[in-house]
Structure 1
Amino acid sequence: MQDGNMVANFEVTCVWDLKATLGEGPIWSAKDHAVWFVDIKSSKIHRYDVSIGSKQSWTAPSPCGFIAPRKRGGFVVGCKTGLYLFELKTGAFDLLTHIEPHLPGNRLNDGFVDAKGRLWFGSMDDDEANPTGALYRYDARGLKKMDDDYVITNGPAVSPDGKTLYHNDTLKKVIYAFDLDDDGEITGKRVFARLDTEGHTPPHGEGYMDGPVVDSAGNVWNALFFGWGVNCYAPDGQLIRRVKFPVSNVTKIAFAGRDLKTVYATTAAKGLSADDIAAQPLAGGLFSFEADISGQPQYEIDHV
């Protein structure tokens, strides 16, 4: 299949030109018809009301990698200094637990809630140099390290049948797949998809594997940092489509709306030169497009 035949004809528009340094982790909240996401480097949490277009922001205690909803209300936010409970009504952040106090150079990055209400998230070296990052599971049994040896983690995401977990090694440009059992244990780590660095313009080639999301058919939609868009992979790992963006650094998407077919995407200005910003002035904005397939529901943490 030629590249041109894989390009999806979706109209991508910027709905919030907030110029985030490192926008990340959009989630859909059906309860308040809003998309929530973070700007990691600015320690900001943002809310975009899709019904009326209103915008709100809060400052987190430290750089925040993800925000995840709780069944009891409010959110869990993953910050450099640990997991926090975030209460919307008061705007208060209460420390839930430290994660890696022995690794002060690390911070938390991307996160995900599975259908059983378990929280999954990764840590990474904030300097993006050392393989001190790890994948964690956090549920009623406590915190457990599931995998390690990552410089930059992204994901994870889980298939609709709950049997496959995907997690990215960003600098290696790889999406890994794991077998996931009912108890939340993972085995059988293998390469699911890899970006090709051959035949592409240096220094970044096709870009880097950023945040993954799995749709209702089991396709893996993976945002591309320095890659100008999103790749969509079939459950067998075959690249089946690309969505092009007007900015180079796409970090993650979320399926939203009543039919879960309205896609929102976070982007970043991080790593761009002044000339790059001049050429892509919407870098760091929140973008949207209408997809032809629905996503999975946004699940909620059930143990805190």
Structure 2
Amino acid sequence: MRTAVPQSVLTVGAMLGEGPVWVARDAALWFVDIKGHRIHRFDPALGVGRSWAAPGQVGWIVPTDDGLFAVGLQSGVHRFDPARGSFVAIHAPEAHLPGNRLNDACVAPDGALWFGSMDDAEEAVSGYFYRFHKGVCIETGLPSVSITNGPALSPDGRNLYHTDTLGKRIWRTELAADGTVGNTHLFARIEDGAGYPDGPTIDVEGCLWTGLFGGWAVRRYDPAGTLMREIRFPVANITKIAFGDEDLRTAYATTARKGLDMTALTEQPLAGDLFAFDPGVAGLPGHVATI
């Protein structure tokens, strides 16, 4: 039974849970633990999870059109085969930036993979956004930041939402039909004391949901950037949500233990778990990457 109050549905104790994505062909939710070097799968019909070890920090996972997955490791984009547990390098966009790692991603309706990078030390302004499609990977030209999150696409594909986490800003950039970026506008600013905006997700009504790292909540903003709703959690670090289940009306949220001391962990025993709640709205159907 779905409830508006977030409930833990899978105990994983992720150090830095991230990148939830509903994969319709599996009827399952996939996500990662970046610092734990793990890939997780949750099957809601059975209420069980499964995990795989990754050969390093893994920022995201998305399905690909060959029935496998693409994952963003610190060393670059890799193809992941769950049946074999194997990882094969595809492209290293930042071989010249060994201190960077890949951090978040989404797939456009045309199969293009959009993803960002960040300074693993969370200091240098060395995070960039990329578009990878049919063997061609380009740096988009969006301003560099320390920690990128997103991007996410509006339902009509005309706007790209991307986050400067440390700057506490979410931006909206106009997109041309070929994926070329246009004008950028400030979409929302997170006020002091509310945490840091993490991964963004768009629902079927074009509203943006963002996890708040250190903010104990997720928020929903309308297409104009006005705060509509805030849902509180029993843990501090909410990283990103994904809409799942057959009707795409369950919101799954990844969380993190990162940065919590022993006192905080005692007070937040569910930190790092996968949560679910009823968002009151459906999400957008997912897409498979053509890379």
CA–CA separation in structure 1 for the residues paired with 2:172 and 2:63: 25
1:278-297 → structure 2 map (5 Å cutoff): 278-297=266-285
Aligned 8 A contact 1:64 1:108 in 2: yes
Q: Does 1:209 align with 2:197?
A: yes
Q: Which moved more, 1:138-147 or 1:57-66?
A: 138-147
- How many residues align? The count is 288
Q: Select 1:239's aligned residue among 216, 227, 236.
A: 227
1:83-122 → structure 2 map (5 Å cutoff): 83-122=77-116
Which residue does the alignment assign to 2:56? 62
CA–CA separation in structure 1 for the residues paired with 2:40 and 2:33: 8
Q: Deviations over 1:131-156 (max 9, x none)?
A: 01101111126111112421000000
CA–CA separation in structure 2 for the residues paired with 1:19 and 1:55: 13
Which residue does the alignment assign to 1:202? none
Aligned partner letter, 2:239 = T
SS of 2:128 mapped into structure 1: strand
Aligned partner letter, 2:213 = F
Aligned partner letter, 1:153 = T
Which residue does the alignment assign to 2:71? 77
Aligned 8 A contact 2:10 2:48 in 1: no
CA–CA separation in structure 1 for the residues paired with 2:226 and 2:143: 26
CA–CA separation in structure 2 for the residues paired with 1:285 and 1:89: 25
CA–CA separation in structure 2 for the residues paired with 1:175 and 1:227: 16
1:113-132 → structure 2 map (5 Å cutoff): 113-132=107-126
TM value normalised by structure 2 = 0.97
Aligned 8 A contact 2:219 2:227 in 1: yes
Aligned partner letter, 2:188 = A
Q: Does 1:48 align with 2:36?
A: no
Q: Does 1:168 align with 2:156?
A: no
Q: Does 1:193 align with 2:181?
A: no
Aligned 8 A contact 2:254 2:273 in 1: yes
Structure 1 segments of 4+ aligned residues over 6 angstroms from their partners: none
Q: Select 1:256's aligned residue among 230, 238, 244.
A: 244
Which residue does the alignment assign to 2:254? 266
CA–CA separation in structure 1 for the residues paired with 2:62 and 2:51: 16
Q: Does 1:12 align with 2:10?
A: no
Which residue does the alignment assign to 1:301? 289
CA–CA separation in structure 2 for the residues paired with 1:171 and 1:136: 19
CA–CA separation in structure 1 for the residues paired with 2:278 and 2:22: 15
SS of 1:242 mapped into structure 2: strand
CA–CA separation in structure 2 for the residues paired with 1:243 and 1:228: 8
Computed over aligned residues only, the root mean square deviation of the Cα atoms, in angstroms, reads 1.0
SS of 1:300 mapped into structure 2: coil
Q: Does 1:178 align with 2:178?
A: no
Give the deviation of 1:277 after TM superposition: 0.6
Q: Deviations over 1:18-51 (max 9, x none)?
A: 1100000000011111110000011110001111
- Return 5+ residue gaps in structure 1 as ranges: 1-8, 198-204
CA–CA separation in structure 2 for the residues paired with 1:75 and 1:10: 31
CA–CA separation in structure 1 for the residues paired with 2:268 and 2:94: 36
Aligned 8 A contact 1:132 1:148 in 2: no
CA–CA separation in structure 2 for the residues paired with 1:209 and 1:259: 27
Q: Deviations over 1:155-179 (max 9, x none)?
A: 0000101111000000000000000
Aligned partner letter, 2:164 = D
Aligned partner letter, 1:224 = L
SS of 2:144 mapped into structure 1: strand
CA–CA separation in structure 2 for the residues paired with 1:79 and 1:92: 13
SS of 1:276 mapped into structure 2: helix
Q: Deviations over 1:197-220 (max 9, x none)?
A: 2xxxxxxx1000100000000000
CA–CA separation in structure 2 for the residues paired with 1:241 and 1:55: 30
- Return 5+ residue gaps in structure 2 as ranges: none
CA–CA separation in structure 1 for the residues paired with 2:217 and 2:4: 11
Aligned 8 A contact 2:149 2:200 in 1: yes
